[in-house]
Amino acid sequence: MATTTAPFVTWNQSWCIGVKEVDAQHQNLVALVNQLNQAMSEGKGKDVLGEILEKLVIYTKAHFRDEERMLTQNAYPDLVEHKAQHVELTKKVLGFQTEFNAGTMGMSIEILQFLSAWLRVHILGTDAKYVALLRSKGIR
């Protein structure tokens, strides 16, 4: 019987930005990081880890697309900088995926630490900057 590993990242209500769709997507990203951690702790094979990493890549791209569309529609003044951070993370995660699929890098705690730190910094720092604008437009 498999045991459940404690979450690597624990969702904190203080991370909520107040936009239901974005908060739900952020929680799903946290869940994917935790799934990756669980699979690693269970010693799952490359195929399982690769599938979870693929889900993380796909979901991250979808989240960024949705967020950027919302910010564009609402004339967010720092959109260029915000998009640049999305591009940076996407490149980094795609790099992890490429190296993992090529067998030149295994899943490691460093990847999980990077992802969890990036999520916290991005949600609490970068994403928090657009909250006032969206609330002023009645978006919740």
Residues 80-93 pLDDT 10s: 999 999 999 999 88
Q: Does residue 114 lie within any of the structural domains?
A: yes
Does 5 fall in a domain?
A: no
Could you tell me where the DSSP H helices lie in the chain? 20-41, 46-73, 79-102, 109-121, 131-136
CB atoms within 10 A of CB 77: 11
Q: Is residue 131 part of a domain?
A: yes
Per-residue pLDDT of 90-112, as tens digits, reads: 998 899 889 888 888 777 888 88
Task: Tell me what pLDDT residue 30 has.
Answer: 92
Angle, in degrees to the nearest 10, between helices 46-73 and 20-41: 170
* Structural domain containing residue 56: 19-136
Answer yes or no: are the C-beta atoms of 30 and 9 closer than 8 Å: yes
Output the pLDDT for position 2.
58
What is the CATH classification number for the domain harbouring 103? Answer: 1.20.120.50
* Position 92 in a domain: yes
Total structural domains within the chain:
1
State pTM to two decimals: 0.86
